Amino acid sequence: MPDYLDDLRLAHVLADAADAATMDRFKALDLKVETKPDMTPVSEADKAAEELIRGQLQRARPRDAVLGEEYGVEGTGPRRWVVDPIDGTKNYVRGVPVWATLIALTEAGEGGYQPVVGLVSAPALGRRWWAAKGHGAFTGRSLSQASRLQVSRVSSLPDASFAYSSLSGWEEQGRLDGFLDLTREVWRTRAYGDFWPYMLVAEGAVDICAEPELSLWDMAANAIVVTEAGGTFTGLDGRPGPHSGNAAASNGLLHDEMLGYLNRRG
């Protein structure tokens, strides 16, 4: 089995370059922000970070394809990098430090491209998380200064901490009643949002999290970090991996119960 460690080292190099670019423009008074056709914001920093990553991948992995949020898919083949230059752009443009660059390597397999390397870098928080297939998940400043991630062992919803992003998406899908029932059943709820709940699940600080509407670049890196930390990452339909257009992540022990609540439609 490939060990993917060279690809993981490259992901760190890519993240270092992206972090420098995004931090340079974070809280800049002259930051340029546009609205995309789907009415979500994109900043000049989103575009610059993705261009940087694509340029380095073109030099280091010219045979690999790249899928990014801002510039779509480029290239073909069994290996595809998936990039979200700034996950949490709305936070970024308002000066909230909860945003990250998400970088994943996926390989063609059953059920589509599957993540084999993932890295989540949140420089404004001073945090980074990563994983490679078969090698576990870690957090730290660098590959040499890292601690291994392990999901929690909480096995009862009344003892569980549940993280989410917002209420509106659940309401739009007719899932709000089940969502609210779940919030009443658990010990604690917090709306950390974006990439962070998944990393907290991987760390064992949060037990379950879910979002009703996502793109592949929002999920690919998160998915392998969670699973390599011993957790479970599926769509709301229960399908493993980041391909369902939505996501549910857990320590594995509470997953089916969580999905049961979230699939109740009002």
Task: Give the pLDDT score at 144.
Answer: 86
The tokens of 204 are what?
């064992």
58 Cβ contact list (under 8 Å, min separation 6): none
Kindly report whether the global pTM for this prediction surpasses the value 0.75. yes
Q: In this predicted structure, what is the pLDDT of residue 211?
A: 97
pLDDT at 25 exceeding the cut of 80: no
Q: Which helix (H) or strand (E) holds 147?
A: strand 145-148
Distances (CA, A) of 138 to 5, 8, 202, 264: 13, 12, 9, 35
- What pLDDT is recorded for position 166? 87
pLDDT higher than threshold 90 for residue 48: no
- Which residue, 44, 64, 45, is CA-closest to 54? 64
pLDDT tens for each residue of 50-65: 999 999 999 999 999 9
Q: Is the pLDDT of residue 29 over 90?
A: no
Average pLDDT, the chain: 93
Q: Going by C-beta distance under 8 Å and a sequence separation of 6 or more, which residues neighbour residue 24?
A: 45
Which are the contacts of 107, defined by CB distance < 8 A and separation ≥ 6? 78, 79, 80, 113, 114, 116
Q: How confident is the model at residue 173 (pLDDT cuts 50, 70, 90)?
A: very high
Q: Which residues contact 187 (CB under 8 A, 6 or more apart)?
A: 158, 159, 160, 161
Dihedral angle over CA of 172, 178, 182, 185, nearest 10 = 140
Average pLDDT over residues 24-48: 71
Contact 83, 68 (CB under 8 A): yes
Does residue 231 surpass a pLDDT of 90?
A: yes
pLDDT at 191 over 90: yes
**Greater confidence, 224 or 25?**
224
Q: For the chain, how big is the Rg over CA atoms in Å? A: 18
Q: What is the mean predicted confidence (pLDDT) over 116-143?
A: 96
Q: How far apart are the first and last CA of the chain?
A: 46
> How many other CB atoms are found less than 10 A from the CB of residue 76?
9
Structure tokens at 200: 């907290």
The band of 95, judged by pLDDT with boundaries at 50, 70 and 90, is: confident
Overall size of the chain counted in residues: 266
- pLDDT at 28 (0 to 100): 67
* Gap between the Cα atoms of 215 and 247, Å rounded: 10
